Amino acid sequence: MPYYGYYGYGYDPLYLIIVLVTTVVGLMAQGYINSTYRRWSKVPSDGETGKQVARRMLDASGCGRVGILGTPGHLSDHYDPRDNNLYLSRENLSGGSVASVAVACHEAGHAAQRESGYFMMKVRHALVPVVNFTQNVWTIVFLLGFMMDMAGLTWLAIAMFAFSVLFQLVTLPVEIDASRRAVAYIEGSGMSEVNVRGARKVLTAAALTYVAAALSSVLQLMYLLARTHRDDDN
């Protein structure tokens, strides 16, 4: 949570309600993906590991040169566009469950996005350096504006925060598209129906965590805009 809560904003009941609602929604989304993943990680796939199915999907998507490596942690799976490799957690790399296959194919979907020049992924990639800067700096600028009573700085900070919100909104279609590609491959490559059904469930639950994060930042931005506008009028 941003630090400005300690400087007066924390006493605004509306702000406390927003913090409470976004925290509860975030925890619910996290709980849902954890329980859905756990349930489907007990259901065996068709005898292949996440790595094996992701390899097939990559090769079928023109991503033969994309490597598949392991990474520590639980649900830490990701695709790194910098070195063009998939990084799968151990349970999804060598695990042979419906959930392992779903997650591994979702990451392969990101590599396929890059291979096909998917537009929203390019936009997201272009925003990364901007957001890395603005998300570190915006609270400092906001605090300075607040303490020095300079509306210009406050608005600059809000514009910086808006980039993080934009980033999360652009992330949504990128994530949903990667999941769509994963389910399409699992279904189209003739895997059994339980794999298709499980992949849909697991990847929908994963998408909800991104929806919750985006909703939370949109609410925060709306609050900041309304509050700063109101303070400007006083």
Active site residues: 107
- Closest contact distance (angstroms) between CB of 32 and Zn ion is 17
Number of residues that bind Zn ion (CB under 5 A): 2
- Closest contact distance (angstroms) between CB of 103 and Zn ion is 9
Which CB contacts under 8 angstroms, 24+ apart, belong to 18-22?
18/219, 18/220, 18/223, 21/219, 22/212, 22/215, 22/216, 22/219, 22/220
Residue 110: which of 132, 91, 131, 84 has the closest Cα?
A: 84
- Closest contact distance (angstroms) between CB of 13 and Zn ion is 36
CB nearer Zn ion, residue 141 or residue 183: 183
**CB neighbour burial string for 44-65, b if at least 16 within 10 angstroms, e if fewer:** ebeebbbbbbbbbbbeebebee
CB nearer Zn ion, residue 74 or residue 229: 74
Residue 107: which of 166, 48, 66 has the closest Cα?
A: 66
Footprint of Zn ion on 149-208 (CB under 5 A): 175, 178
CB nearer Zn ion, residue 48 or residue 175: 175
Chain residues that interact with Zn ion, rule: CB under 5 A: 175, 178
